[in-house]
Amino acid sequence: MGERERRWITSIATSPITNRSLVAASDSFFYCTILPTAKTAVHPTNQPTSHKMKLPRVCTGIAIALVCTLGDCHPLERPISIINESGQRLELYWVGSNDEMVLQSPPNGMQKGQTLSLNSYVNHTFVLRELPSASGTCNEGTKYSSPSVSPVCKTRYITVNEHNDQVIHVKEDLQVEVEDSDTKAQTITSSIVSACRDKVKQRIIATDLNASEALDAFATCAQPLVARQIEESNKEIKAQADLRVELGEMWEEYTCSDYNLATTSPKSTYTWNYQGQDHTVGVLLDRDEAKIHYVKNFITPEECEAIEKAAAPKLHQATVADGSGGSHLQKSRKALQAGVRVPWEDEANGDPIAAVSRRLYTYINDATGYGIEEAGQEELMSIQYSGRGLNDTEPDRYMPHCDGQCDGLQFQDAGRVATMVMYCEAPEKGGATNFRNVGVHVVPEAGTAAFFSYLGSDGRTDNRLTEHSCCPVMEGDKKIAVQWLRLGVDAENPWDSFNTLNIKIGSEA
């Protein structure tokens, strides 16, 4: 894959609402629609664009899997497909805010049977126009045939609705039929209701069912049909999740090797005030079960120095969970680390470690509503990665992993639910924090913090959305302070009274 394609993939995955696939495809290439950059695409009035370029087949999958299958596009953004089934060539225009007409179809028009896919927004309006044949006639050879001048070829307006998966079928005489998530659901529901209603009617006639028995019969009929639809939906969801992970692996390789790649543009920003000081927060992912933020000017040089000084005598090779309740050394994680106890007893005296710890607990509870308390929590972890040059074949890094449970299942008590990574020193090359499955890339900046949480309000963990890595540190040093936060621990049941499977030590048998 060439440099142009690699940078294009990177631009898709790092912009939350930038790119969408175009349906037209050949055996070797997909055409892809490149929409406005994240800075412009957030405005519902922005025009959809249809610049086309030939790129590897992976472009469509990455655009779909990393950009919008997570529901993280602009809330009014809607992908639409327009299928020309009218039997003639058509032109498609987007109608701008000042009634300007912006051509969306190819210069020679939409051919018979062609599908045009693009990204739009709710209430955007488009105009379809018939194009005359070489003889100057529209709908030549049909009952709708008309001259192109008097009367003119027909025009039809289309407005994007609020539903997902919109497919617009343009029929003869420019009649339009819209198929979307709502109509599909109605069709499925109607078919189930119709089939079961007929069966229940037959039983009423044959056995004289009363009302209660009729309802029971209807439920008995509908249950397996509904279950079948749910099963099909679950298969589709799993297929998309598998695709997202597969493409995330590819994205990881490209983004970690691009040392000039900036932090992902935030979906939104806001100001968080703590003790009279404003901190700019960038929201990179905002889902119920998974959030990723960066927070500017979160940790001071004095606080970093205090943490590193406390950690220095205890630095050792970092370990990872071994899958059986313990931990061990692993090549996937190459760094030095040491735990730092937070001296809460000195908080009132202005201890810098206690001060930054109180700040991070306050931020995390504000961002999540978890209500986490400091009693029983893990120590702060000081972690250091060292760069030894671009030719290092085994650089310090941390391969993709989850900090806690990330299987989409019910949360296990005492497990981790949130992480705060505070950057004290940034390397010259490498060391970015990469969330490959959601296309988020955070470049270390001294003083900034990256926050992420991975537990939903329904008690289920995220399903690998916050899986992340530390890209290889090639030049310079990366020094961070990390706080992992748990739910279900307290002074009587501290974090280290559980093994790495979150099972209480002594109760494993």
pLDDT at 454 over 80: yes
Which residue stretches of 20-69 are H helix? 38-41, 58-63
Mean pLDDT for 115-129 is 91
Please determine, for residue 101, whether its predicted confidence score (pLDDT) is greater than 80.
Answer: yes
* Lowest mean pLDDT across 45-59, 101-115, 182-196, 253-267: 45-59
Distance of alpha carbon 444 from alpha carbon 261, whole angstroms: 11
Q: Indicate the range of 265-269, 286-290, 437-441, 497-501 predicted with least confidence.
A: 497-501
Q: What is the mean pLDDT of residues 63-90?
A: 70
Position 65 pLDDT exceeds 70: no
Rounded Cα gap, residues 156 and 168, in angstroms: 12
pLDDT surpassing 50 at residue 11:
no
What does the alpha-carbon distance between residue 76 and residue 42 come to, in Å, rounded to a whole number? 9
State which of 11-25, 40-54, 154-168 shows the largest mean pLDDT: 154-168
Say which amino acid occupies 23. Answer: V
pLDDT of 252: 87
Q: Which CATH architecture has domain 263-497?
A: Sandwich (2.60)
Give the residue with greater pLDDT, 252 vs 30. 252
Residue-by-residue DSSP string for 340-356: E---GGGGGGT-HHHHH
In what helix (H) or strand (E) does residue 384 lie, and over which residues does it extend? strand 380-386
3-state secondary structure of 138: strand
For the segment 191-198, the average pLDDT, to the nearest whole number, is 84
Over residues 314-356, the pLDDT tens digits come to 999 876 655 555 554 556 567 899 999 999 999 999 999 999 9
150 phi-psi bin (left φ>0, alpha ψ -120 to 50, beta other): beta
Q: Is the torsion defined by CA of 328, 332, 333, 334 positive or negative?
A: positive
The C-alpha atoms of residue 304 and residue 309 are separated, in whole angstroms, by 9
In contact, 76 and 19? CB cutoff 8 Å: no
Cβ burial, residue 445 (10 Å; 0-12/13-18/19+)? middle
DSSP string, 292-306: EEEETT-S-HHHHHH
Does 45 have pLDDT greater than 50?
no
Q: How far apart are the C-alpha atoms of 377 and 494, rounded to whole Å?
A: 6
Backbone angles phi, psi at 195, to 5 degrees: -65, -45
Mean pLDDT over 103-129 rounds to 91
Q: Please, what is the end-to-end C-alpha distance for the chain in angstroms?
A: 52
Distance of CA 508 to the CA centre of its chain: 37
pLDDT, the chain, mean: 81
> Tens digit of pLDDT for each residue in 209-265?
787 888 788 888 888 877 777 777 777 777 777 777 777 777 888 899 999 999 999
pLDDT of residue 145: 55
- List the structure tokens of 75: 């809330």
Give the model's pLDDT for residue 332: 56
pLDDT (0 to 100) of residue 193 = 82
Backbone phi and psi for residue 58, each to the nearest 5 degrees, phi listed first: -65, -20
DSSP 114-132: -EEEEEEETT-EEEEEE--
Domain boundaries, the chain: 184-240, 263-497
For the chain, how many residues are written? 509
- Closest-CA residue to 129 (of 104, 155, 103, 108): 155
More confident residue, 259 or 149: 259
Distance CA 466, CA 438 (A): 8
Pick from 350, 402, 344, 346: nearest CA to 373: 344
Query: Is the per-residue pLDDT at 109 higher than 80?
Result: yes
% of residues, the chain, pLDDT over 90: 52
pLDDT (tens digit, 9 = 90+) per residue, 409-447? 999 999 999 999 999 999 999 999 999 999 899 999 999
C-alpha dist (Å) from residue 215 to 189, 200, 224: 17, 9, 15
